[in-house]
């Protein structure tokens, strides 16, 4: 259920700054730029900013603003699609007078004075669209916001294939189409692949490893990622390449980011893997989570623990 304090606070503040998570995906952008559009169209005199990192993959949705610290004075910070405080992109959110958290991930830690967290939604963009629909008599939505939220819903549901997609999801998507969203345009933006991406996909398909428990994984260190001349975001998207293989219900891509940060994108079409991700400083959805390793030396422990976890649930 929507926390009614959200619309009250949006009306109360003249300046609103919207944050998302590190390494933003389509849903993060969808929620951020969708909410920005709703507020700007509904209350033209308010200042509304989206801050955080740039996502090349969905840059057609919008570009984050560069703002000075001073703008946070007396402002409302809203953080979307981010379960943990650690993952918030741009830590200045706490410079705002108050903070609202809007999220659909399994709660891991508590932040924000006001919250609307609901894990039944398959995407945070759908939450923002539902917020608009609920208060439709008081709010207005433009094309840019509808496009952003549609992209967010589409990407986080695997194009309406993942668990959690409901009648409401399709109804919300249909509502966004009535605001001018062109499905062919969106598909053309999301489906195009460079030759470097095709080559990386070939590498992933040739180098994944399997375990007897039913776990498939592939590792991509910095040298490998850079050799294909792709972004970290593009490399991380390869997790879908090894998904859905018969007899292997759990899969992961393990990537080394700049600064020797090692992140895991963990997926499942069987066991609930969020508790496993929690054991490795992660979290997320029941069957789509993220985790991290302190170093490559910890990889063997992660693989062994994943095998134990899968076997215990059989």
Contact, 205 vs 196, CB < 8 A?
A: no
pLDDT digits (tens, 9 = 90+) for 183-205: 999 999 998 889 999 999 999 99
pLDDT digits (tens, 9 = 90+) for 114-125: 999 999 999 999
Among 49-53, 104-108, 272-276, 278-282, the minimum mean pLDDT is found in 104-108
Q: What integer pLDDT is reported at residue 284 of this predicted model?
A: 84
pLDDT digits (tens, 9 = 90+) for 212-266: 999 999 999 999 999 999 999 899 999 989 998 999 999 999 999 999 899 999 9
How far, in Å, CA of 88 to CA of 307, rounded? 31
**Percent share of the chain, pLDDT over 70:** 100
Q: What integer pLDDT is reported at residue 62 of this predicted model?
A: 95
Model confidence at 286, in pLDDT bands (50, 70, 90)?
Answer: confident
How far, in Å, CA of 28 to CA of 50, rounded? 11
Nearest to 34 by CA among 153, 170, 144, 155: 144
Residues 6+ apart with CB under 8 A from 128: 30, 31, 34, 35, 38, 80, 102, 149, 152
Nearest to 156 by CA among 292, 30, 249, 275: 30
pLDDT above 90 (res 159): no
Q: What integer pLDDT is reported at residue 256 of this predicted model?
A: 97
Q: What integer pLDDT is reported at residue 283 of this predicted model?
A: 85
- The vertex-188 CA angle with 152 and 79, nearest 5°, equals 20
Mean pLDDT of 16-43: 97
Q: What integer pLDDT is reported at residue 161 of this predicted model?
A: 81
pTM of the model: 0.84
Sign of CA dihedral 63, 53, 286, 86: negative
Mean confidence (pLDDT) of the chain: 94
**Percent share of the chain, pLDDT over 90:** 85
Model confidence at 158, in pLDDT bands (50, 70, 90)?
Answer: confident
Nearest to 67 by CA among 93, 79, 49: 49
Contact, 265 vs 285, CB < 8 A?
A: no
Higher pLDDT among residues 80 and 282, named by residue: 80
Q: What integer pLDDT is reported at residue 247 of this predicted model?
A: 93
Residues 6+ apart with CB under 8 A from 147: 61, 176, 180, 181, 186
How far, in Å, CA of 152 to CA of 58, rounded? 9
- The vertex-205 CA angle with 204 and 207, nearest 5°, equals 65
Contact, 67 vs 49, CB < 8 A?
A: yes
Q: What integer pLDDT is reported at residue 139 of this predicted model?
A: 97
pLDDT digits (tens, 9 = 90+) for 72-124: 999 999 999 999 998 999 999 999 999 999 999 988 778 999 999 999 999 99
C-alpha distances out from residue 126 to 161, 194, 302, Å: 15, 29, 33
Model confidence at 68, in pLDDT bands (50, 70, 90)?
Answer: very high
């Amino acid at each position: 259920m929507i926390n009614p304090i959200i619309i009250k606070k949006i009306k109360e503040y003249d300046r609103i700054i919207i944050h998302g998570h590190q390494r933003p995906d389509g849903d993060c952008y969808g929620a951020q730029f969708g909410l920005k559009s709703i507020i700007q169209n509904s209350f033209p005199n308010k200042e509304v900013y989206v801050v955080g990192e740039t996502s090349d993959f969905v840059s057609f949705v919008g570009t984050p603003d560069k703002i000075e610290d001073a703008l946070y004075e007396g402002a409302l910070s809203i953080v979307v699609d981010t379960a943990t405080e650690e993952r918030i992109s741009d830590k200045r959110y706490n410079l705002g007078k108050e903070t609202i958290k809007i999220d659909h991930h399994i709660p891991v830690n508590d932040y924000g004075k006001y919250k609307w967290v609901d894990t039944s939604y398959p995407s945070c963009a759908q939450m923002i669209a539902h917020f608009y629909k609920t208060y439709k008599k008081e709010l207005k939505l433009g094309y840019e916001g509808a496009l952003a939220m549609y992209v967010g819903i589409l990407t986080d549901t695997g194009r309406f294939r993942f668990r959690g997609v409901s009648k409401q999801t399709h109804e919300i998507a249909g509502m966004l189409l009535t605001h001018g969203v062109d499905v062919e345009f969106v598909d053309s933006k999301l489906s195009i692949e460079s030759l470097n991406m095709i080559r990386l996909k070939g590498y992933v398909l040739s180098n994944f490893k399997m375990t007897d428990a039913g776990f498939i994984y592939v590792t991509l260190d910095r040298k490998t990622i850079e050799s294909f001349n792709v972004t970290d975001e593009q490399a991380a998207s390869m997790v879908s390449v090894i998904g859905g293989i018969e007899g292997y219900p759990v899969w992961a891509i393990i990537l080394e980011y700049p600064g020797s940060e090692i992140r895991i994108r963990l997926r499942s079409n069987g066991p609930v893997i969020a508790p496993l991700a929690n054991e490795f400083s992660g979290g997320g959805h029941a069957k789509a989570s993220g985790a991290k390793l302190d170093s490559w030396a910890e990889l063997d422990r992660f693989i062994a623990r994943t095998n134990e976890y899968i076997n215990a649930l059989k």
